[in-house]
Amino acid sequence: YRLDSIEEVIELGLDDYLYGSGVCVVEWAEKAVELFPTEHLLVELSFLSDTSRHLVLNPSGERYVEMLSQLEQIPKIVKKRMSQT
């Protein structure tokens, strides 16, 4: 959150992590979205209360669209609970 420009993000070497073989989680990702691989999953968490959060999953690319499609197969009680946390 202290970074002011995309150049500062690049200087940190974030692309080394984004294009590695593992999972990369980036806090304050909106400052570096233009560096993300074509296929990525953007996870947005919003504060609702001390015990509740709102979760939004935004897929980009076939891999993550398919992943979310599979998540939709979870019973509704789980989906409802997932959307509330």
User: Is the confidence at residue 79, as pLDDT, over 90?
Assistant: no
* 7-53 residue pLDDT tens: 877 787 877 878 877 778 887 777 788 888 899 888 888 999 998 88
Threshold 0.75, pTM exceeds: no
Q: What is the pLDDT, as a whole number, of residue 81?
A: 53
Do 6 and 30 fall within a single domain? Answer: yes
Task: Pick 77 or 49 by higher pLDDT.
Answer: 49
Do 70 and 44 fall within a single domain? Answer: yes
Do 51 and 71 fall within a single domain? Answer: yes
Task: Pick 32 or 61 by higher pLDDT.
Answer: 61
- Secondary structure of the chain in HEC code, one letter for each residue: CCCCCHHHHHHCCHHHHHCCCCCCCCCCHHHCHHHCCCCEEEEEEEEEECCEEEEEEEEECHHHHHHHHHHCCCCHHHHHHHHHC
